[in-house]
Amino acid sequence: MLDVKLFQMETFLSEPYEDTLAPQLKSAHERLQDGSGLGGDFTGWVHLPRDYDKAEFARIKAAAAKIQKNSQALVVIGIGGSYLGARGVIDCLCSPNYNLKKKSTPNVYFMGNGLSADAMQEVLDLLEGVDFSVNVISKSGTTTEPAVAFRFFRDALEKKYGKAGAKGRIYATTDKARGALKSLANEEGWESFVVPDGVGGRYSVLTAVGLLPIAVAGIGIEELMGGAAKMMKLCETASYENPAWTYAALRDALYQKGWSIEVLACYDPAFRFMLEWWKQLYGESEGKDGKGLFPASVEFTADLHSMGQYMQDGTRNIFETVVRLGASEHQLYVPRDEDDGDGLNFLAGKPMDFIRDRAMEGTLLAHTEGGVPNLIVEAGGKDAKSLGQLIYFFEYACGLSGYLLEVNPFDQPGVEAYKKNMFALLGKPGYEDRKAELEAKLKK
Ligand code: PA5
C-alpha cells in the first residue's frame, strides 16, 4: 500500500507538527467528507470511486470497444483538467511512445490543449487515410482552445465520412445540461458522457473525461477505479493512518517554515504527464489569495543534469517529493565488454534498476545534505490499480491542503484574467470597451 515519509525528518521538522496540525486536518477532513467547506458543491469526486454512475461506466466501455473496432486513431480534444489526467495515465501505463508502438488499440492524439497551428496541422496530416473518431471534452463547453480545435477535427470528420458518418464518430464529454457543447451534442445527436456536477475539471480523471480515452488505449478502467476505491476507503480514516493526512501535514509544515516550492520528481520518464497532472491539480487548487506552494516538477535522472545544480545549491526554498514506482517491468542487464574502454565493467551484469536505485539514493542523500527536504511517496507498481490509488491519494491530499491554507481548493478565479483579455483582443462581442483599452496599453 502507498506510503509517505519525510527522509531525515528531524533535520527539517523538529517540532511535533503532527499534533499541532491534527485539529486542522480533522476539520478539513470533515469538510471534505460532508461537503460543508469552501467550494463544497465541488466535492463530488470524494465518493466518486464508490458512487460513480455504473450505467455510464458500461456505456464508456461500449464506446471504447466501438472506437477500438472502427478507428485507428482517437483525437481527444480538451485542455487542463479535461486533458492532463488521461494523458498522464496513458503515458504512464502504455508509454510516452504509445502511438509509435505496434498494438491492436488506436493511436490517441491530444489536441485543443494549446493554440498552435503547426501542432494542429501535424495531427491533421497524420490522420490522412486513417479511420478516426473524436472525443471532445469540455465541462463548461465554452473553452476557446478545445472549441477551436473541435471545429477543425469535426470538419475533417465530416469531409471524410459525411455528416451522418461523422455523427457516429463524435463523442462529447461535457456538463449534463449546460453549455454550448451540450447544446450542439443534443442538436447533432452525438453520443454524450457527463462530467458530474460536483466534479471540477482537475478532479475529473476518474469520470468519463479520463476514462473514455484511457479505455480506448486498452487500460483496465475497472482496475483504475478499484485502486481509487481502495484509497478512498483508507482516506476516510480521520488520522495519520490516512496517507493523505501525512502528506498534507508534511507539506504544510514545510511551507510554514519557508519552503515555498514543491518539486515533484520521478525516475520514470513515463510519469512525465502525471507530473503535469499533479502540477495543475495543486497549482490551481492552492495558488490563490496570495498563498500556496508553487508546484514544479522534474524528471530524474535527466533533470539532475539541468535542474540538479539549482536544487543542490540554489535558493533554499525548495522541497522535493519523489514518487517511487518500484521495480521496472523489464529487467535489463548491463553487457560486459572485454576491452572495457569506458571503464564500466564494474557494472557488467547489473540490472538497470540497480543503477537507477543507487542514483536515487545518492540524490536523496546529496539533496538532503544540501538543505532540500525529501518526501518519499512509495506508490507501488506501475499498474492501473496502483495508479488509481495514487490519483485518489493526491486528490484527497490536495483537498485537505487547500483547507489547511483556508482557500477554496475547487475554484480557479485567476484563470479568468487571461481569458477576458484574450476575448477582448479577439473582438468577441461584449468586450468592445476592454478591447480598445487593452490595445492602447499594448502600444505603450
Ligand atoms: O480544473 C479546471 O476546472 C480547469 O483546468 C478546466 O479543466 C480547464 O480550464 C478546461 O475547462 P473545460 O473542461 O470547461 O473546457
Give yes or no: 284 in active site.
Answer: yes
Q: 142 C-alpha vs ligand 1 centroid, how far in Å?
A: 10
Q: 130 C-alpha vs ligand 1 centroid, how far in Å?
A: 29
| Ligand 1 pocket member 138 (CB < 6 A) | yes
- pLDDT for the residue numbered 444: 85
- pLDDT for the residue numbered 113: 98
How far apart are alpha carbons 248 and 336 in whole angstroms?
46
Measured CA to CA in angstroms, residue 437 lies from 410, 421, 424, 434, 440 at distances of 31, 10, 9, 5, 5
Q: 161 C-alpha vs ligand 1 centroid, how far in Å?
A: 30
Amino acid at 7: F
The helix-helix angle for 384-405 and 243-256 (nearest 10°) equals 40
- pLDDT for the residue numbered 37: 97
Q: Per the omega criterion (within 30 degrees of 0), is the bond before 105 cis?
A: no
Does residue 66 surpass a pLDDT of 90? yes
Give yes or no: 236 in active site.
Answer: no
User: Which residue's C-alpha cell is 543542490?
Assistant: 312
Helical residues (DSSP H) of 133-193, grouped into ranges:
144-167, 180-188
CA-closest residue to ligand 1 atom 8: 80
First vs last C-alpha separation in the chain = 58
Give yes or no: 406 in active site.
Answer: no
- pLDDT for the residue numbered 45: 98
- pLDDT for the residue numbered 301: 96
For 179-219, what is each residue's pLDDT tens digit? 999 999 999 999 999 999 999 999 999 999 999 999 999 99
List the catalytic residue out of 262, 276, 284, 395. Answer: 284
What count of residues does the chain have? Answer: 444
CA-closest residue to ligand 1 atom 13: 138
| Ligand 1 pocket member 143 (CB < 6 A) | yes
| Ligand 1 pocket member 82 (CB < 6 A) | yes
DSSP 190-207: -EEEE--TT--GGG-TTS
How far apart are alpha carbons 402 and 139 in whole angstroms?
22
| DSSP assignment letter at 82 | G
For 292-309, what is each residue's pLDDT tens digit? 999 999 999 999 999 999
Q: 414 C-alpha vs ligand 1 centroid, how far in Å?
A: 12
